[in-house]
Amino acid sequence: MTATALHKRRSGVDMTRIRQFYIDGAWVSPMTAGQTGFTDPATETQIGMLAVGTAADVDRAAVAARRAFAAFSASTTDERKALLGRILTLMEARAEDLAQAITLEMGAAITFSRTTQVPFGIAHVRAAMDVLADYKFRVQKGTTAILREPIGVCGLITPWNWPLYQITAKVAPAIAAGCTVVLKPSEMAPLSALLFAQIMHDAGTPPGVFNLVNGTGAEVGSAIASHPDIDMVSITGSVRAGVLVAQAAAVTVKRVVQELGGKSPNILLPDADFDRVVPLGVASAFRNVGQSCSAPTRMIVPAERLTEVEALARAHAETIIVGDPQDPTTTLGPIANRAQFDRVQKMIQVGIEDGARLICGGPGLPEGIIHGLYARPTIFSDVTTGMRIAQEEIFGPVLCILPYATEAEAIAIANDTVFGLGGHVQSADLDRARRVARQIRAGQVHINHPAWDAYAAFGGYKQSGNGREYGVFGMEECLETKSILGYDPT
C-alpha cells in the first residue's frame, strides 16, 4: 500500500480535496497553483501537498458569502436549528473518520481524539442548537425594541492544536446567528477541516453560507482580516498572529474576536486533597501534549508542601505513555509539527540554563523512541516567576512548580503574567476557593477540576485576547445590536 493510500485509509478524507477549496456550495480549484506540504508528526513523513490560496480565492469566497447573507440572515431560528441538527447528526455518524483525521494530521492519541477532540467539537454544535431554542432576538423595553441581528460575513481563522473543536466553536455560533462564513483552518492540520466542509455540504447548507479557503496566515489570514465584505473576524492563535489580524482588520473597522496565548496558573491551597489534585493538575497541563492555550502549566504550591508535590507529580508523570498515537494505550502522541517541537526542546533547555530544578523529563526524545516529534513529559520545580519558562507559553508537555508562602503571594504569582486566559484553584473550602478565583485575572477559572462546560464563556484578559466564545457568548459575538425607538410594544 502506498503512503498516500495509507493516509487516505486512516483519515477518511478524499485526498483529492486537499487540492481544492469549498466555495459557494461546491469543491473548486484554486485561482493559482500554490501548494504546501503537511506531515504526519508521528513519522515525519509527508501526508500530501495542500493547495494554498491567495487574496483572490478569499475574494471569491467573500463574494459568495455576501451574496448568500441576504437570504440566510432572514432564515428562521427553526430553519437554522434544523441545519445545525443535520450537521450534528453527520458529525456523530462520521466521528471515527474525524478522530482518525485529527490523529493523523496533528498527532493526538487516537483515544484522546475519540473521547475528547471529536466529542467536544460536536458539543459546540449541540450548544448552538440549545442557545437557539430560547434566545430572544428581540426584547421590548417600554416603547423601544432592542434587536439582535446577524453581523454579516464572519471570517474565521482556526489553529492546529484543536482543529475540529475550534472550527465548530466558531462556525456553529455564526450559523446560529444567521451569519455566513469564510473559514481558514490551519494549513498544518487540514484534514478534519476538509471532512467538516463535506459534512456542511451533505447537511444541505445553502451555497455560500459556508466557505473554506486553505492557506497561510500571511496570505489568506491577512486577506480575510482586511476584506471589505467580511464584517467580523475571529482568530484563535498566537499573540503575534492576533496582533497582525487586528492591524489588518482596523482598516475596515470590523469587529475582531481574539483567543490567543495563555500561561494559566493552578493554585493549590494548603487544605486541598493533594493526592487527588496534583495528579489531575499534571494531567491537565499535559492534556493534548500540552498544546492547549489554557493548559494550567504553572502549579503554584505551598512551599512547605513542595517535596510532597514533587513526588506526587513525578509519580503521575511516570505513568504517562508516550508513543504511537494509533495505539489505544498511548497517553501522549507527538508534538504536532516540527516548528513547535523545536520550540519545546529549546524552552526545556532554557529552563535548565535558568536554574530551574528538573524533576523528570528533559530535552530529547523519550526512551525507546528514535523518530517522530515526541517530547518527554517534563516537570521543573523551584521555578521563580521571573524565569522564561514561567512567563512564556511553551505549548508542550512542560510543567512549572512554583512555591509560595502566603495566599496573597500565590495570587500575586498567578497574576504575574501578560496572559489571562484560564486559571485553576484547588481547596476543600469552597468559599475560600471562590474568593481566590475571583482575584485571578483570567477569563475562565476552574475550581477543583470540574467537568468541561460547552456553555461557559471562554476568552481572555490582557494579551490572551478579547471577546468570548462558547454558548450564548459565542453567538452574541456574531450579532449586532439595534435599538428601534417608538416600536409598537404589542
Q: Which of 154, 179, 293, 478 is catalytic?
A: 293
Distance CA 300, CA 414 (A): 8
- Terminal-residue alpha carbon distance, the chain: 69
Helix axis angle, 191-202 to 163-177, nearest 10°: 30
Using DSSP's 3-state secondary structure scheme, residue 382 falls into coil
Helix axis angle, 77-93 to 118-134, nearest 10°: 160
On whether the CB atoms of residues 52 and 220 are closer than 8 A, the answer is: yes
469 is catalytic: no
Residue indicated by cell numbers 497517553: 331
Using DSSP's 3-state secondary structure scheme, residue 158 falls into coil
Which residue in 207, 208, 201 sits closest to 86, CA to CA?
Answer: 201
Which residue in 198, 148, 184, 379 sits closest to 282, CA to CA?
Answer: 379
Which residue in 351, 353, 359 sits closest to 312, CA to CA?
Answer: 359
Residue indicated by cell numbers 464563556: 457
Distance CA 478, CA 463 (A): 22
Residue indicated by cell numbers 528538573: 358
80 burial via Cβ count (<10 Å: 0-12, 13-18, 19+):
buried
The helix or strand, by DSSP H or E, that contains position 310, with its residue range, turns out to be: helix 306-317
Distance CA 151, CA 264 (A): 32
400 is catalytic: no
Which residue in 385, 424, 382, 418 sits closest to 403, CA to CA?
Answer: 382
Distance CA 260, CA 258 (A): 6
**What is the sign of the dihedral through the CA atoms of 201, 87, 99 and 424?**
positive
On whether the CB atoms of residues 166 and 291 are closer than 8 A, the answer is: no
Looking only at Cα atoms, what is the longest distance across the chain?
74
Neighbours of 93 (CB within 10 A): 11
Distance CA 271, CA 69 (A): 55
Q: Looking at this protein, which amino acid is placed at residue 361?
A: G
Distance CA 77, CA 417 (A): 42
User: In this structure, what C-alpha cell is assigned to residue 63?
Assistant: 463574494
Q: Which of 187, 259, 310, 477 is catalytic?
A: 259
What b/e readout covers 379-418, taking b as 16+ CB neighbours within 10 angstroms?
bbbbbebebebbebbbbbbbbbbbbbeebeebbebbbebe
Q: Hey, which residues are catalytic here?
A: 259, 293
